[in-house]
Amino acid sequence: MNSPHLDPTRKHDFVFILDVRDGNPNGDPDAGGAPRIDPVTGQGLITDVAIKRKIRNTVALTNAGTPGYDIYVEAGVALNAQHERAYNEGSATNESDARTWMCQTFYDVRMFGAVMTTGKETKKGEGRKTAGRVQGPMQLTFSRSIDPITPFEIGITRVTPTRVEDVEALKNPTEKNRGKETEMGNKHIVPYGLYRGEGHFSAPLAAKTGATIEDLATFWRAFTIMLDHDRASARGEMSLRGLYIFTHDDQYGRAPARQLLDLVRTKPIGGATARTFADYADGIEIDDAAIPDGITLTRLIG
């Protein structure tokens, strides 16, 4: 195979670097939507769930209608309804059959895994159809900013009120209600943040879920373009600055993942003063000479 990083029979460990400018890369609902932050170090955080959501959306966009590339965790679709499909469309008669059908049908089940035992049983033990649990071969970590970030809130004005009554009152004001001409809002942003995340692909688990060469190719393509198809005013400018894949020459690995991932380095500035990627003068450095035998490095980005 000419492209080692596409081989599902080999172990892969990878590092990705992304940045955000004047945007909110991952809002925290427990903090009013403010950017996630480590309260001790001040470093910004992006959850693995947020990255997987972007990958799912991109796979759905680029593989719409392709058999085997349905998305299990999809907005507006109940998980129990997805399980029902295994028994209705897939003719499954038990949980094992359903699990196999789910892996064959849903890309994100095959790659990320899923707990497909949701639902509530009735008193007679009926009322739900489950598809078991799948441990996916592709797993991601949280992304953490190289340096502390300084998130802040910006007030914005909208020229259109929400309620019809306010517009009518503006046209015909009374002493009690003079209406509204504008409404105030806010946006949370990070002026600039450079984030690093990591991921791992297990060949033995891929064999169990049926992940293929095509699945890995789809994953890497989705990863490289996901930010270009996830534009929103709240997220500002987000860009993938690096994607580096260490591929082992067997399914279990020739070296510890940590040893390999630590070869990719970005020197911290030591504060929250960065405003562009160019502020990291040393950029992203890789110690190629320290890569062990049996390991191939693929630079997809950077």
Per residue in 142-180, pLDDT (tens digit) is: 999 999 999 988 887 776 776 777 777 767 777 677 666
How far is residue 291's CA from residue 114's CA, in Å, rounded to a whole number?
A: 34
**Extents of the domains making up the chain:** 4-77+135-151+189-301, 152-186
Q: What is the pLDDT of residue 292?
A: 97
- Residue 83 DSSP SS3: helix
Neighbouring-strand partners of residue 238? 20
**Mean pLDDT calculated for residue range 245-269:** 97
Whether residue 23 is predicted with pLDDT greater than 60 in this model: the reply is yes
Phi, psi for residue 239 in degrees, rounded to 5 = -140, 145
Buried b (16+ CB within 10 A) or exposed e, 55-82: bbbbbbeebeeeeebbbbbeeeeebeeb
Predicted confidence (pLDDT) per residue in 65-87, tens digit: 999 999 999 999 999 999 999 99
> Which has the higher per-residue pLDDT, 125 or 130?
130
pTM of the full structure: 0.90
Q: What is the pLDDT of residue 122?
A: 46
Cβ atoms of 131 and 99 within 8 Å: the answer is yes
CA angle at 273 for the pair 269 and 274, rounded to the nearest 5°: 70
Q: What is the pLDDT of residue 151?
A: 93
How far is residue 112's CA from residue 226's CA, in Å, rounded to a whole number?
A: 17
Whether residue 126 is predicted with pLDDT greater than 70 in this model: the reply is no
